[in-house]
Amino acid sequence: MRQRLLLFSILYLTFLSAYGQSTSEAGKAEQKRLIYFTDKANTPYSLNEPLAFLSPKALERRERQHIPLSSRDLPVNPAYVEGLKSLGVQVWYTSRWFNAAVVECEVGKLQEIEALPFVQSTRTLNRIAAPSKGLLSKSMQDLDVQPLTALAKTAPAEGDYGPAFHQAAMLGATALHEAGYAGEGMTIAVLDAGFPEVNTLVAFSHLFQQEKMVGTYDFVQKQQNAFGADGHGTAVLSTMAAYAPGSIIGTAYAASYLLLRTEDAATEHNIEEINWLLAAEFADSAGADVINSSLGYTTFDSPSTSYTYQDLNGNTTLVSRAADMAAATGMLVVVSAGNDGSKPWHYISAPADADSVLAVGAVDSLGVKAGFSSFGPSADGQVKPDVVALGRNAYVLSTSGAVVQSNGTSFAGPIMAGFVTSLWQANPRKTNMQMIQLLRQSGSNAAAPDSAVGYGIPVYSRTLTALPQMPLSSTAYITNPVQDQAIVLALGQDWWSQPVQVHILDMTGKVLYRQDFANAGKEQVLQAEPRQLKTGLYLCRLRSGSRVVTLRFVKL
């Protein structure tokens, strides 16, 4: 592994606990458990010295989008971790956002843990600890690729994309590339089940030779090497990052990448949701701009922990809460909607229900919804999926390096993620939520979004005119930032003269304030008292009939 990646893990993984691998004795039923702490009091970390736990790029992303630091950004109190260790408990990771630790222990230890004064509650994440599995990987020194000193200075020609041309052109990604935007200077964190052979395939060699592979981590095995396990992540990555002219070119081939393994393909337990949370915190601390996650959760190996459709309300599942927290840091979170459209479940999976993510469904080459693509809405009435991209017979790279066809919103998601990354490069002053709104407004179904394809297929050419020509009926704005002044909603015509329900929520999903307008007008003054709101980020959810819109504002 190169020195750059090693340095990266030292600088930006302050939230990981380096306590070694599991030492469980045979016959002991040790399980992964989540331990929530009561507070972050007396922590040695300070918001005045953020470089101790966030990279300069992470801070720049927040500053650009006017997102203040909060106590959620602080690492957990090391004294609390030491307290757990003093009981002989193995600490695997700690989470800034959940203020919690992932430990491995027997059930007999729980009573001791719960008796600690700084422990708020506990939650079991799996039934038994998963055994270690070998990884199929090669070191960076083993690479045998042709020299690639730079990407082509001119935009790829149609033939350079190979059979992947249509899936990029459908969104206008090829036109974006012609305009000079292919993700340069942007960083995408890919959360998946493994990335075997990424460090050997020629199509990814530019990532290493141009130092665009900025970090890797395997949260399942607790090691830096992520170039193993399930090949799903390799295929997902290829739709964005591949650069092999004549064979395949991805939608953000000039971007930088973080590869983070969170999924154990052999099992399905809540621990994988926590792995997702930890990886999202990793991505935040490293300064990622975009997260792509082709993972979804509804049913687990332990039936009692499975979710119901009613749980998909954006605020209940562990992974959806984590996804909204990731979005609160200014990262644009792109997730696959799910592949249950033709199955009894039928609906999207978590975290596609999160209100601050871009959930992506799948269509075929003609733009017709793929039968397997999951339907919305979310349980709380949000339009889901948000948008769609090619996911039926999409072209991807296998671990052997062959260009093959594959099906799933797993591939529609990253094709879209690469597109929006390149589009964001072209619109650097926009926030993550403004980019999501821009994609919705430029969708082929924007005039009548539904539960099958959401706002439809967004196209680059429409994004150039979407905002200036956006009808008043699509607009809703809120005072931002808020200090001591009144909070005002500015509403477009579609909101006028009809009932509108307003909720203000904190970033945990807790409703702090509710106000109903029987006949909304152009401007509505909320009766919420700004002085009663703590400094931080808040959500304002508007509901009118089946229409749900979530706005964000910062209290200074």
Active site (catalytic) residues: 192, 232, 410
Written as six digits, the tokens of 72 are 């959620």
- What does each C-alpha distance from 406 to 76, 282, 294, 346 come to in angstroms? 42, 29, 14, 21
Beta-sheet strands, E only, within 264-393: 290-293, 332-336, 358-363, 387-390
Cross-strand partners of 249 = 243
CB contact at 8 A, 196 and 134: no
CB contact at 8 A, 220 and 275: yes
Chain centre distance of CA 335: 6
CB contact at 8 A, 195 and 398: no
Burial of 291 (0-12, 13-18, 19+ CB in 10 A): buried
Which residue in 247, 266, 255, 163 sits closest to 214, CA to CA? Answer: 255
DSSP, residue by residue, 28-73 = ---EEEEEEES--TT-S--TT-GGGTS-HHHHHHHHHTT----GGG
